[in-house]
Every structure is written in C-alpha cells, then in structure tokens.
Chains A and B, each alone.
Chain A
Amino acid sequence: DAKTTQPTSMDCAEGRAANLPCNHSTISGNEYVYWYRQIHSQGPQYIIHGLKNNETNEMASLIITEDRKSSTLILPHATLRDTAVYYCIVNSGYALNFGKGTSLLVTP
C-alpha cells in the first residue's frame, strides 16, 4: 500500500472551513483514498473515500488532484465536535494502514 504524509497538527476557527491535506505520491491506479477520524478515546469513524473523482457526503468533501498524488479533506463549517485526529489512508487490500494522522483542533 502507498504511504501517506500528513501534517502533525492543524488549527481551525469554529465555523470556518477546515482543509486537511494529504500527500500520497506513490499511489497506484487501483488504490482508494480513505479518510477516517478518531475523537479522543473512541474508535475511528469513517468519513469518506474516493478513487479519482471528487466526492461529497453529509460529513465532508474529498478533493483528489488529477495526478492522484495528493488529496484534501474539507470540513465546510468546522464545529468544536470536529476536534479529532484525522487519518488519510491509501488502500487496495484487505486492511487499513493507519499512520499518526493530523490532530485538528477547532477553537471557539
């Protein structure tokens, strides 16, 4: 599976959009990009995934560059409850490889 690189931490003001970047320059053609988040002391929560096209659901939007070497998770109106560790995962097999993720702090 391809390796991902994410910033260690980010801040975002409540009500503003949170844009979380992820680099996956070694991604192969059949590998999906997944995003999960983990609120402190809870199990991870699935957010969104995509292959080539941009995706949107009730939680977030996923923007994947045309060359698929990077992506951005967008939380359009961040709330305090969005404070969590966000994991970007590239996968083509039967399991997910979680790195350390980005710790997002949403401030009032």
Chain B
Amino acid sequence: DGGITQSPKYLFRKEGQNVTLSCEQNLNHDAMYWYRQDPGQGLRLIYYSQIVNDFQKGDIAEGYSVSREKKESFPLTVTSAQKNPTAFYLCASRDPGRGQETQYFGPGTRLLVL
C-alpha cells in the first residue's frame, strides 16, 4: 500500500529529553512537511522540505530540528529547548501532480510530557 506512516502513535518524553518522531512515505513525493496541532486548534507548520538535503523553517520551528537525507524519510526531533511539546504531530507529503498543495497526511504522533 502506498502512503505515509508515522511512528510511534504515542510518545512520552521526560523533562530535558530529546525525542525523534518518524515519518516515512512511499509515494515518491519530493516535498514533505511537519505540522503541530494543539487541542481545538488548527495545524501550524514546523518545518518543510521540498527536496532531499534541503529544508525550511515554518512558523514555529524553535525547539525542533529535522533532516532529509532520503526522499522517503523526514524525521522530526523535539529538543529540550521546546518548552511546551505536548501536542499532536502530523507529517505530510505533497503530490505535485494534483495541484500546488495537495498534501497527504500520516496518522499522527501524540507526544506527551511526563
């Protein structure tokens, strides 16, 4: 099946700990995105990557880092500098053949701070 997978579904972080959220796609899409969603709110863009080895900060990049070493993978690290990391994290990739911004989303990872 083609699609976007995110793991784990739930993740617990201790104070001062870095954690990495996985995002993998087998859709052969060039562009990938990370969003954060807080309860009752819309999605906010953290980082995006239009091509391998390139990525750009979104609206709320502070306290986060990413890498894009492979086309299929776009992991997000939530660092200890992110003081309020509890949220629902969504990864997406873009299908260039269906319009400028037709994005396909993974199932999300819910991060909780202990």
Contacts and interface: CB of A to CB of B under 8 A. Distances in A.
Interface of A: 32, 34, 41-46, 49, 87, 89, 91-101
Interface of B: 4, 31, 33, 35, 40-45, 48, 50, 56, 58, 88, 90, 92, 98-108, 110
Most interface-central of B43, B98, B107 (chain A CB within 10 A)? B43
A32 B100 CA distance: 8
B43 A44 contact: yes
Contacts of B31: 94
A87 B42 contact: yes
A87 B103 CA distance: 13
Contact of B103 (A93, A96, A97): A96
Name, among A49, A95, A97, the residue most crowded by chain B CB atoms within 10 Å (CB to CB): A95
B105 A96 contact: no
A62 to B, nearest CB: 12
A67 to B, nearest CB: 21
Contacts of B102: 34, 46, 49
A42 B91 CA distance: 11
Contact of B108 (A34, A43, A93): A43
25 contacts: A34-B99, A42-B107, A43-B92, A43-B105, A43-B108, A44-B105, A46-B98, A46-B104, A49-B99, A89-B101, A91-B101, A92-B100, A93-B101, A94-B56, A95-B33, A95-B58, A95-B101, A96-B45, A96-B101, A97-B45, A98-B42, A98-B43, A98-B44, A100-B41, A100-B42
